């Protein structure tokens, strides 16, 4: 099948040349997506009629807009008015929000076609997309492997050429980790840069929506659309949004890139290690300098994250009780039975595990030892970065310690699963912007990603350095859908 | 209550702030709308929505903090209080835990006869959101939920356990309510639930340092209920102790019909609400200038007003207490006094007739549609003898009814007093003729017989006679 989504630009040219009514294009795109998705399962349900209907109301002026007619997948935790938004959880079966997320509205205002409800680990709890109540999504590079997670469906949809780009959410790496494993670009903006309104919360202080794209230019264009203050989200920051596309094609000569020793540990597989050291050479060739830095509290990041994340999640998910909407245990005889039955049937294993963990961490007598201590560690981790950014402009690390693993491989071992986010978690704890860009292939032709992190609200630094790297390497030109 | 024990009371008051919109969304807070018509995704707690704090609620809370002499937190931080209940759609309440907006205040209540006053400490006042309401119908196997109230801003005001009697608790609440009404930050309507109170009460032997086991009383729907329930409870607890038994720490419900408290639930290990900072709301700094701006808009509070009325208008304490009991009444008094220049007379009219009308219609001055100018006119007409006091009351009633100008009412109804001797002559003659016994009584020194005779003249003239003139004429004729 033709790869019409090499970039948003090439797709738009294709669209222009085809010169068909938008309605026909939309039907074509839906057909095309469904056909590819048979072997990927990036979507459990595509509400085609609704997509056609939304396209038909795009205003006359829409044609000139930045994303006119561009199909964009949104993760199943990003609300779209009247459309199924279930977080791949049984407990939200049939839930159709009466509102859209701010990011979705912004995309639609630019003329985008929203393919909502991309598959994910239930409530974004997971790193493999196996935690979906509708079954796992497959990695387009090797369908026996996981695409990463939790934004696995959205990412696989981009990598498989089902859509031009996607929006995911990243709480501990859920955009960057699958982007690395699927060979695409995944960007987590600074906490507060993008409105969370309409993003079904996992951990409110860590969650951030970001783009998943085929290349850095698309990423900059998407970010430009979705970033900015939103009065509906008190945690969004009221600061001017730069034109991210202006940071493309910039010279990175003299840029200082920090290499933290704590990120080059024994657990990294050789494929990843080799790709990263090749990448560092590319940066040097482009005139960037590398600086050895230390982020001494890195080793506490995973534990810290698995206290704060679940603590917030346990409270955020308390509302799913069968009373007001979503799944209800119909056999319950009283209120308590209804609570217990609905939640027991509605949540999957990982959700239950995290709710229990979080409830425990907030319980009286444990709060100080767990939650409060984790908050202190979080501050230390953020301080590490502040210190490091005194001597460098951005920090380069592997995105993940390994390439995509086999479906089922880590399902029974939550700790091993948690460790696949070991390099991505710190950026969430510190609220930093971070991006994963393709930097090569390991055994079995499996993609490897490199991660760049920058100071809060310095997304441009990431766009600039990631783009320079991308433009001087060939990895991003090799697509899973071309295999 | 015997003299052996003393009572220790602490009160928790929830006040709904009278903001137009809810604490974290733009829904109306109006009371009495059809169920579930004042809701939106935010107060319904639908997935993905976020709260945005209504700064008006903050402003109102700061007003109370200033009025109670509280210290004000430098940073406003919200926390989540986690518990499951169907009227709480998120299953957590946005509240304030370790950093209440205001703390360390006091409420001054007067002690009985002596006029001395006592300060009751206010531990804290914090902002939180209200829950919805469950509606139960015993005939149905399910309950209804009305979420109109969900998310209404509340201020929870907690007193120190320093209240020593049910009467003092009543006074504390009266003073607190008065202050809140003066600040116009809440309707304080207990029937509509905009002011709610729970009481904690224990007793201990006089002189003991340790507090007794605490009982929490709920379902207190009026200040009277608070006092009655506390009176019942102190006696019940004394009886328990006198029987050599132990008071169990529990929550009890006040049964207004039977006048008893009933055990509701034992207070086992305290509820674990798993408080933690609300991550969806960014803490914000309370700027000193902001507090100063609010301070500048503060009205004169009841305690200051009482003092001023006593010195400025030379009124007795009892009169002043009535006038100051409500801000609208105090304002009315001052307007009228300004016109009639006779403080005591203005006070008497307001305490008497105006209060009567307010009570009858159970409304406020605004609801009574009483223009202070009109009331001043009526009082002046009595003072200059244009109409009798009796007619004046009727003029006021008509004036409230129709809103007409008192002058017109007097003209239309012919209330103008007869102050002309010639016109009264025949009526006086008639009265003397018909009431010889009273005339004789008066002649024999029973001076109050004159009053009766004046009354008869008033009757004869259908209230139109100027009673002062009639009295003088009668005296002259008889003696």
Q: DSSP labels for A312-362?
A: HHHHHGGG-SSSSSS---TT--SHHHHHHHHHHHHS-HHHHHHHHHHHHHH
- Is B274 in CB contact (< 8 Å) with chain A? yes
B413, B431, B465 — which closes off a domain?
Answer: B413
B6 neighbors B194 (Cβ within 8 angstroms): no
- Residue A283: is its pLDDT beyond 90? yes
- Whether B48 sits inside 8 A of A319 (CB atoms) is no
B446 and B361, same domain (yes or no): no
Look at residue A51 in the predicted model and tell me its pLDDT: 96
pLDDT band at B270 (very low <50, low <70, confident <90, very high): low
Residues of chain B in contact with residue A367, where contact means CB-CB under 8 angstroms, are 274, 276
> For A206, which residue in chain B has the nearest alpha carbon?
B279
pLDDT band at A209 (very low <50, low <70, confident <90, very high): very high
Rounded to 5 degrees, φ, ψ at B7 are -100, 140
Q: Is residue B392 part of a domain?
A: yes
**Which of A7, A75, A89, A169 is the catalytic position?**
A75
B263 and B396, same domain (yes or no): no
pLDDT band at A417 (very low <50, low <70, confident <90, very high): confident
Look at residue B336 in the predicted model and tell me its pLDDT: 94
Q: How many helices (H) and strands (E) does chain B have?
A: 17, 16
Give the CATH number, domain containing residue B442: 1.10.10.410
pLDDT band at A1 (very low <50, low <70, confident <90, very high): low
- Whether B91 sits inside 8 A of A97 (CB atoms) is no
B87 and B183, same domain (yes or no): yes
Ramachandran category for residue A255: left, alpha or beta (phi over 0 → left; psi -120 to 50 → alpha)? beta
How many domains does chain B divide into? 3
Look at residue A459 in the predicted model and tell me its pLDDT: 98
- Residue B464: is its pLDDT beyond 80? no
- Whether A318 sits inside 8 A of B48 (CB atoms) is no
B185 and B38, same domain (yes or no): yes
B186 and B202, same domain (yes or no): yes
The Cα of A6 is separated from the nearest Cα of chain B by a number of Å equal to 32
Mean pLDDT of B138-165: 96
As given in the structure block, the two tokens for residue B84 are 């499951």
Q: Which of B277, B279, B284 to mutate to test the interface with A (most CBs of A within 10 A)?
A: B279
CA distance B365 to B329: 7
- Residue B291: is its pLDDT beyond 80? yes
Which residues between 27 and 56 in chain B have a beta carbon less than 8 angstroms from any beta carbon of chain A? Answer: 41, 44-53
Hey, where are the domains in chain A? 8-257+391-482
CA distance A478 to B38: 54
B437 and B407, same domain (yes or no): no
Q: Is residue B295 part of a domain?
A: no
pLDDT band at B357 (very low <50, low <70, confident <90, very high): very high
- Whether A359 sits inside 8 A of B274 (CB atoms) is yes
* Nearest-CB residue to B50 (from A87, A234, A371): A234
As given in the structure block, the two tokens for residue A199 are 């993003």
Look at residue B416 in the predicted model and tell me its pLDDT: 77
Q: Is residue B142 part of a domain?
A: yes
B196 neighbors B155 (Cβ within 8 angstroms): no
B270 and B324, same domain (yes or no): no
B360 and B259, same domain (yes or no): no
- Is B281 in CB contact (< 8 Å) with chain A? yes
B244, B272, B290 — which closes off a domain?
Answer: B290
Mean pLDDT of A72-100: 98
Mean pLDDT of B273-283: 97
B186 and B78, same domain (yes or no): yes
CATH of A8-257+391-482, one of 3.40.50.2300, 3.20.20.220, 3.90.1300.10, 3.90.440.10: 3.90.1300.10
> Domain limits at B361?
300-413
Identify whether A88 is a catalytic site residue: no
Q: Is residue B134 part of a domain?
A: yes
* Nearest-CB residue to A319 (from B89, B275, B280): B89
- Whether B52 sits inside 8 A of A231 (CB atoms) is yes
Look at residue B267 in the predicted model and tell me its pLDDT: 63
A247 neighbors A220 (Cβ within 8 angstroms): yes
- Is B272 in CB contact (< 8 Å) with chain A? yes
**Which of A100, A127, A128, A174 is the catalytic position?**
A174
A195 neighbors A102 (Cβ within 8 angstroms): yes
The Cα of B53 is separated from the nearest Cα of chain A by a number of Å equal to 8
- Residue A242: is its pLDDT beyond 90? yes
B143 and B239, same domain (yes or no): yes
**Which of A150, A169, A314, A342 is the catalytic position?**
A150
CB contacts < 8 A (A, B): 101
A159 neighbors A479 (Cβ within 8 angstroms): yes
| Bond before A150 cis per omega within 30 degrees | yes
- Residue B269: is its pLDDT beyond 60? no
- Whether A234 sits inside 8 A of B272 (CB atoms) is no
Q: Is residue B50 part of a domain?
A: yes
Mean pLDDT of A308-334: 96
Q: What's the pTM value of the predicted model, to 2 decimals?
A: 0.91
The Cα of B275 is separated from the nearest Cα of chain A by a number of Å equal to 7
B100-138 burial: b if 16+ Cβ within 10 Å, else e: bbbbbbbbebbeeeeeeebebbbbbbbbbbbbbeeeeee
Residue-wise pLDDT tens digits, B295-332: 999 999 999 999 999 999 999 988 999 999 999 999 99
B379 and B444, same domain (yes or no): no
Residues of chain A in contact with residue B45, where contact means CB-CB under 8 angstroms, are 319, 324
Identify whether A150 is a catalytic site residue: yes
CA distance B21 to A70: 39
- Is B81 in CB contact (< 8 Å) with chain A? no
SS3 label, residue A444? helix
B158 and B83, same domain (yes or no): yes
Identify whether A436 is a catalytic site residue: no
Residue-wise pLDDT tens digits, B23-44: 999 999 999 999 999 999 999 9
């Amino acid at each position: 099948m033709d790869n019409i989504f090499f970039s948003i630009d090439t797709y738009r040219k294709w669209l222009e040349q085809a010169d068909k009514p938008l309605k026909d294009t939309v039907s074509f795109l839906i057909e095309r997506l469904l056909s590819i998705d048979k072997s990927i399962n990036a979507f459990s349900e595509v509400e085609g009629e609704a997509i056609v209907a939304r396209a038909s109301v795009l205003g006359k002026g829409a044609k000139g807009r930045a994303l006119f007619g561009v199909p964009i997948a949104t993760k199943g935790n990003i609300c779209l008015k009247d459309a199924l938004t279930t977080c791949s959880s049984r407990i939200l079966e049939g839930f159709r929000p009466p509102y859209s997320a701010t990011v979705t509205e912004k995309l639609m205002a630019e003329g985008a076609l929203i393919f909502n409800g991309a598959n994910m680990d239930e409530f974004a709890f997971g790193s493999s997309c196996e935690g979906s109540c509708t079954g796992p999504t497959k990695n387009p590079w090797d369908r026996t492997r996981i695409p990463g997670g939790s934004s696995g469906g959205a990412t696989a949809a981009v990598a498989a050429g089902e859509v031009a780009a996607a929006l995911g959410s990243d709480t501990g790496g859920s955009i960057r980790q699958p982007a690395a494993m699927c060979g695409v670009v995944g960007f987590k903006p600074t906490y507060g840069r993008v409105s969370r309104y309409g993003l079904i919360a996992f951990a409110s202080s860590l969650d951030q929506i970001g783009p998943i794209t085929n290349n850095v230019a698309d990423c900059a264009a998407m970010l430009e659309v979705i970033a900015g203050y939103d009065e509906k989200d008190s945690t969004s920051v009221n600061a001017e949004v730069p034109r991210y596309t202006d940071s493309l094609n910039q010279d990175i000569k003299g840029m200082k890139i920090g290499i933290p020793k704590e990120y080059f540990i024994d657990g990294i597989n050789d494929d990843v290690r080799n790709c990263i050291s090749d990448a560092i050479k590319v940066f040097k060739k482009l005139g960037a300098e590398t600086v050895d830095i230390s982020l001494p509290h890195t080793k506490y990041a995973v534990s810290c994250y698995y206290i704060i994340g679940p603590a917030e999640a346990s409270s955020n998910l308390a509302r799913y009780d069968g009373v007001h909407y979503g799944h209800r245990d119909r056999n319950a005889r009283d209120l308590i039975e209804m609570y217990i039955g609905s939640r027991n049937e509605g949540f999957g294993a990982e959700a239950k595990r995290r709710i229990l963990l979080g409830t425990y961490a907030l319980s009286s007598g444990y709060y100080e030892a767990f939650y409060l201590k984790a908050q202190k560690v979080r501050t230390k981790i953020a301080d590490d970065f502040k210190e490091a950014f005194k001597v460098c402009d951005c920090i380069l690390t592997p995105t993940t310690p390994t390439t995509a693993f086999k479906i089922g491989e880590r399902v029974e071992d939550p700790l091993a699963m948690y460790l696949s986010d070991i390099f991505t978690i710190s950026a969430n704890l510190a609220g930093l912007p971070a991006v994963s860009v393709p930097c090569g292939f390991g055994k079995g032709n499996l993609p490897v990603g490199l991660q760049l992190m920058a100071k809060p609200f310095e997304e441009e630094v990431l766009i600039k350095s990631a783009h320079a790297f991308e433009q001087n390497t060939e990895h991003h030109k090799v697509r899973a859908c071309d295999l | 209550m015997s003299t052996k024990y003393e009572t220790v009371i602490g009160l928790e008051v929830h006040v709904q702030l009278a903001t137009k919109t809810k604490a974290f969304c733009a829904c109306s807070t109006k009371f009495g709308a059809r169920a579930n018509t004042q809701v939106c995704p935010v107060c319904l707690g639908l997935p993905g929505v976020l709260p945005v704090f209504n700064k008006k609620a903050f402003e109102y809370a700061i007003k109370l903090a200033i009025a109670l002499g509280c210290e004000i937190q430098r940073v406003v931080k919200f926390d989540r209080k986690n518990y499951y209940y169907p009227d709480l759609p998120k299953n957590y309440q946005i509240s304030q835990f370790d950093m209440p907006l205001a703390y360390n205040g006091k409420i001054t209540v007067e002690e009985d006869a002596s006029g001395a006053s006592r300060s009751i400490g206010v531990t804290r006042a914090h902002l939180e959101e209200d829950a919805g309401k469950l509606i139960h119908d015993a005939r149905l196997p399910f309950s209804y939920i009305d979420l109109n109230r969900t998310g209404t801003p509340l201020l929870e005001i907690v007193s120190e356990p320093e209240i020593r009697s049910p009467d003092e608790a009543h006074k504390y609440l009266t003073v607190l309510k008065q202050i809140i009404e003066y600040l116009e930050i809440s309707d304080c309507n207990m029937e509509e639930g905009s002011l709610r109170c729970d009481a904690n009460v224990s007793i201990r032997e006089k002189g003991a340092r340790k507090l007794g086991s605490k009982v929490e009383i709920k379902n207190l729907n009026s200040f009277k209920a608070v006092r009655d329930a506390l009176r019942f409870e102190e006696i019940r607890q004394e009886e328990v102790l006198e029987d050599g038994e132990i008071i169990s720490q529990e929550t009890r419900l006040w049964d207004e019909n039977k006048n008893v408290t009933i055990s509701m639930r034992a207070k086992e290990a305290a509820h674990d609400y798993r408080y933690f900072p609300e991550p969806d709301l960014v803490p914000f700094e309370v700027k000193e200038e902001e507090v100063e701006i609010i301070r500048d808009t503060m009205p004169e509070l009841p305690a200051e007003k009482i003092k001023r009325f006593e010195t400025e208008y030379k009124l007795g304490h009892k009169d002043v207490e009535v006038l100051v009991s409500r801000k609208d009444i105090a304002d009315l008094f001052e307007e009228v006094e300004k016109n009639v220049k006779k403080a005591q007379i203005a006070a008497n009219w307001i305490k008497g007739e105006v209060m009567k009308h307010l009570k009858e219609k159970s409304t406020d001055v605004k609801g009574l549609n009483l223009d202070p100018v009109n009331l001043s006119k009526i009082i002046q007409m009595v003072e200059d003898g244009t109409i009798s006091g009796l007619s004046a009351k009727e003029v006021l009633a008509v004036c409230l009814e129709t809103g007409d100008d008192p002058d017109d009412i007097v003209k239309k109804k012919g209330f103008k007093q007869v102050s002309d001797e010639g016109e009264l002559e025949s009526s006086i003659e008639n009265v003397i003729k018909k009431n010889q016994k009273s005339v004789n009584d008066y002649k024999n020194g029973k001076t109050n017989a004159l009053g009766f005779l004046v009354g008869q003249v008033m009757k004869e003239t259908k209230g139109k006679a100027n009673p002062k003139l009639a009295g003088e004429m009668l005296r002259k004729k008889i003696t």
